[in-house]
Amino acid sequence: MVLHALSLIQKQVNSFNIVAEESTMTSQAVDDITPHHAACCSVIPTYILSKIADSPDAPDAAREHARNALVHTRTIIQRHQESILRQINATPAQGASHQGIIPDHISNSIANSYPAGSEGEDAAQRTLSLSAEIRDNREAHADSLRDAQAKPPTTKRLKRVVYDAKHTEILDEKLVRSEGGPATSDPAADECYDGLGATFNFYSDILSRNSINGAGMSLIGTVHFDKNYNNAYWDGKQMVFGDGDGTYFNRFTASLDVIGHELAHGVTQFTANLIYEGETGALNESMSDVFGCMIKQYKLNQTSAEADWLIGVGLFTPAVNGKSLRSMKAPGTAYDDPVIGKDLQVANYADVLTSELPSDFDNGGVHIYSGVPNRAFYLVATELGGHSWDRAGKIWWAALTDRRLTPSSKFQAFAKLTVEKAETLYDQSVKAVVEHAWKEVGVDTG
- Alpha helix (H) ranges present in 115-165? 119-136, 142-150
Distance CA 132, CA 233 (A): 12
Phi, psi (degrees; rounded to nearest 5) at 215:
-135, 25
For 165-194, the three-class secondary structure string (H helix, E strand, C coil) is CCCCCCCCCEEEEECCCCCCCCHHHHHHHH
Catalytic residue among 22, 262, 279, 285, which?
Answer: 262
Catalytic residue among 367, 387, 420, 435, which?
Answer: 367
Distance CA 304, CA 300 (A): 11
Concatenating the DSSP letter of every residue in 406-422 gives: -TT--HHHHHHHHHHHH
Concatenating the DSSP letter of every residue in 187-224 gives: HHHHHHHHHHHHHHHHHHHHH--SSTTSS---EEEEES
Neighbours of 444 (CB within 10 A): 11
Please say if 21 is a catalytic residue: no
Handedness of CA 54, 60, 66, 67 (dihedral sign): positive
Please say if 356 is a catalytic residue: no
Residues with Cβ within 8 Å of residue 14, at least 6 apart in sequence: none
The residues that are catalytic are 262, 367
